[in-house]
Structure 1
Amino acid sequence: MRRVLVIIAAVLVVAALVVFALQPKPVAVEMLTTAPADIQTSVVASGRVLPPARVDIGATITGRVATVRVREGARVAADDILIELEHSELAAAVAQARAAVTRAQARVTSVKTLALPTAQAAQQQAAANLDVAEREAKRARDLVAKGFISQSRADDAERQLDVARSQLASTRAQTGAQGANGAEAQQAQSQLAEAEAALALAQAKLAQTLIRAPATGVVLERVIEPGDIAQPSRRMMTLALDGPVRLIVQVDEKNLPLIKPGAVATAAADAFPNERFEAVVNYISPGIDATRGTVELRLDVPQPPALLKSDMTVAIDVPGPVLKQTVMLPADAVRQLQTDAPWVLVARDGVAVRVPVKSGLQTQGRVAITDGLNAGERVIMARDIEAGTRVRAKE
């Protein structure tokens, strides 16, 4: 009986050795041990320097370009002359209009200093003549009554009186016409106003031959040369006007919970990565770019470095909230992350076990795990390992 038991024990040992030998060897994999910690979140994105205002410069009239006074990169002040058009014809029109104003002014002066006094003198003479005619007519009537003269003589005196009255009325009308509110004076003033308006119009057209900078800025592009024909619909140069420096950035919509207005970000131009500066989030677009799944941010730069140029590419790092005692995993370690049922592989007793988890915020390629994992668990990083596989930590 003892011999049988020994044989059975030997058989079991051999069978166990065979089974052990036939089992696959554990696969060496990279593992990450979970350890909750306070995590400072941040959003890193790329954007560009937004010019405060980009202005296309053009002409308001058609003309040949005589001079272009600035080149690309030149700084200009407000009202500086940028382009000059040929203006000989318009200058002649201004001279002609100015001569018309001089004639109109002379007409107004003539009415005031010559025509009016002449009319007033004629009125005074007519009044004196009327006075004489009235006395003569009265005397003639008295003499006829006494029989000293004939009636025909009295009738002649009455006709002279009527003529004198008519002459006085005519001179009064003439004086009124030459007065400040009279027709002649008003016509002269109207002609002067018309001539002055024509002069202003001619001067305005002449001024349009000098194309000036609307404000202080930098010439970005010049697309016209002397001899070219300027037209109202043609762009001749582009200016970037001075003003507050802003950055425009597109960030993934998933990062919206991490960004708040007023957040102070760190930025650097790609051309000068070591020259860092602060930028403040002042605008978060209320809309989402559906084609790219991004949100537009705009940031003010309170103290822009001199090296910043319009449309430069910049990288920004916007700090977010601190996640207290949170487990963070690389996004690659979480399977089916974009679905409603993400999961990870955890090494338990040397075997890969599928563990459902709940994910939270994602930032910089890392995912916050809010449920499903405990501290000290070993998460398998390799994505080619299936659940149930025997695993061991890679040395």
Structure 2
Amino acid sequence: MKNRIIIFLALMLILTAVPLSAATTVEVTEAIIEDISLDEIITGNLTPFEKANIPAQVGGVAEEVNIDIGDEVEAGSELIKMEQDSFLIQKRQAEAALESAEANYDELINGVTEEEYRRVKSSYEDAKAGLEIAEINYKQAKRAFERSEELFQDNIISKQDFEDAEDAFKNARSQVKSAETNLAVAEANLDEADRGPREEQIRASAAQVKQAEASLDEIEDTLSKTVIRAPFTGLVFERHIEKGEMIGSGQPIVNLINIDQLYVEIEITASAVSRINKGDIVEVKAETMQHYIEGEITNIAPQADPESRSFLVKVKIDNPDHSLRPGMFADVRLLKGEAGDAVVVPIESILDLTEETPYLYVVEDGKAIRREVEVGLQTDTQAEIISGLEAGESVIIRGQQRLDAEDEVEVINR
């Protein structure tokens, strides 16, 4: 027992003879110059690059339906064809009307042929001769009537003979009038053949040609609308008609989408929209992807949604293998801020980071020196120091929570 007391007293003397160190052990790192950037991840939905809900432009019965859901179609390919019989009949009628109008116009422009002119001239001469003969017959019938009248009054001829003479006279007079009319018509035809068509006749005939052309164009346009074609290369998303069904004009029949490229549609805040521009390149990662790809900002809404107060932004990405589909979620990484050649420290070195006066400790001559700093950009691991610290200084990153200003420290980096 006595020996144990002596050993205990000896140990106490040894411990009191060696002074205990008051320094706090810490870990440090050097403040460095580095570029720092802050990203913001926003989740949106993938939508088709092109989409069209194609309607029927004319009514009719679906004669051919050449597509089904999921089919890939080329631009201009025939999707649906309607019966055309009634439209083809109308087309033939319009073609005949145009041909007739063009023939009439050509006849007016070219004038009468030499043979036609001779015929018109001959008709005039015949009409002239016919009038001369009718006038001679009229004079003879008149004299015969006057003579018959005298003889009838003298009771030399019968009443029947007198009436026959009177009828012959009236008939001769009617033939003269008819011959005069025929000569007038023949003379007018001859004058027209000599003069050519009037300007108003030509204009009227030309208008008839244009009207016939318009009618033909209209029916050809209608006929072309009985065949519904793909406006772009894409995939059939929906089909609303079956073969043999009646289609109404304006009825939606095919929904087509193009997913060779896709849009990511995101909603962002006013502060975020002020940092981006049309044409900016950003990073995109869909829910089925393991890495980010490049996307281009193509559309920025000029006005915020009145309810959400956010702005619609569209980011275009390539999708050549169709591995991505509309309706999937996708993350868009937007640059929230960046600083080049900034003084950067680990974010855990800063105390009271969310308070008004954040600070950190640096090591100078074995002591912890408190520095109030102005903090700039912050990521999950780093922070930009705008003022209060110089590059190259030793910043305490472990143990600083136990320190007061001017405390002695012992640097022990693992």
2: distance between equivalents of 1:260 and 1:200?
A: 47
- Residue deviations 1:60-99 (CA, integer Å, cap 9, x gap): 23444444322233222222111233x2xx5225315524
Q: Retained in 1: the 8 A contact 2:362–2:394?
A: no
Alignment partner, residue 214 of structure 1: 231
Contact 1:279–1:299 at 8 Å: present in 2 too? yes
Give the distance between the partners of 1:161 and 1:185, measured in 2 at CA. 35
Which residue of the other structure, out of 87, 94, 97, is the alignment partner of 2:88?
94
Letter of the 2:57 partner, please give it.
Answer: T
Q: Counterpart in 1 of 2:140?
A: none
CA positional deviation for 1:269: 3.5
Q: 8 Å contact 2:362–2:370 — kept in the other structure?
A: no
Residue 278 (1) aligns with residue 275 (2) = no
Do 2:123 and 2:186's aligned partners in 1 also have CA atoms closer than 8 Å? no
- The 3-state SS of whatever aligns with 2:242 is coil
- Matches of 1:363 and 1:107, distance apart in 2: 81
Q: Which amino acid aligns with 1:84?
A: K
Q: Which of residues 37, 41, 61 is equivalent to 1:41?
A: 37
Matches within 5 A, 1:289-368: 298-299=314-315, 301=317, 305-307=320-322, 309-311=324-326, 312-317=328-333, 321-328=338-345, 330=347, 337=354, 341=356, 343=358, 357-363=373-379, 367-368=383-384
Specify which of 119, 122, 128 is matched with residue 121 of structure 1. Answer: 119
For residue 54 of structure 1, report the CA deviation from its aligned partner: 1.6
Is the alpha carbon distance of 1:101 and 1:381 closer, same or farther for their aligned partners in structure 2, counting shifts above 3 Å?
A: farther
Match of 1:170, as an amino acid? V
Larger radius of gyration: 2
Letter in 2 for 1:168: L
- Measured in 2, the distance between the counterparts of 1:257 and 1:381 equals 41
Q: 3-state DSSP class of the match of 2:125? A: helix
Aligned sequence identity (%): 20
Shift of 1:59: 1.1
Matched residue, 2:51 = 54
**Structure-2-length-normalised TM-score:** 0.56
Work out the CA distance in 2 between the residues paired with 1:293 and 1:186.
63
Structure 2 matches for 1:257-268, cutoff 5 A?
264-268=281-285
Shift in alpha-carbon separation, 1:257–1:215, aligned structure 2, 3 A: closer
> What pairs with 1:384-395 in structure 2 (closer than 5 Å)?
none
Are 1:370 and 2:379 an aligned pair? no
Contact 2:259 2:322 in 1 (8 A): no
Change beyond 3 A, Cα 1:118–1:305: closer
In the superposition, relative to structure 1, how do residues 208 and 286 fare at CA in structure 2: closer, same or farther (>3 Å)? closer
One of 149, 161, 169 as aligned partner of 2:184: 169
Q: Distance in 2 between matches of 1:159 and 1:228?
A: 70
CA spacing shift, 1:206–1:288, aligned 2, 3 Å: closer
Please list, as runs of the form range in 1=range in 2, the aligned pairs for 1:63-78 lying within 5 A after superposition. 63-78=60-75
**Paired residues of 1:216 and 1:242 also in contact (CA < 8 A):** no
Q: 1:235 maps to what in 2?
A: 252
Q: Structure 2 CA distance, aligned partners of 1:369 and 1:123?
A: 112
Q: Which residue of 1 aligns with 2:14?
A: none
- CA 1:220–1:165: 2 relative to 1, 3 Å: same
Structure 1 residue 370 displacement after superposition: 2.2
Q: Distance in 1 between matches of 2:239 and 2:28?
A: 58
Counterpart amino acid of residue 233 in structure 2:
T
Structure 2 stretches lacking a partner, 5+ long:
1-24, 137-142, 147-171
Q: Distance in 2 between matches of 1:48 and 1:284?
A: 15
| SS at 1:169 equivalent | helix
Decide whether aligned partners of structure 1 residues 133 and 38 sit closer, same or farther in structure 2, where only a CA change above 3 A counts. same
Q: Deviations over 1:186-215 (max 9, x none)?
A: 888877765665454444334333211112
**Superposed CA RMSD:** 6.1
Report the 3-state secondary structure (helix = DSSP H, G, I; strand = E; otherwise coil) of the residue aligned with 2:76: coil
Matched to 1:127, the amino acid is E
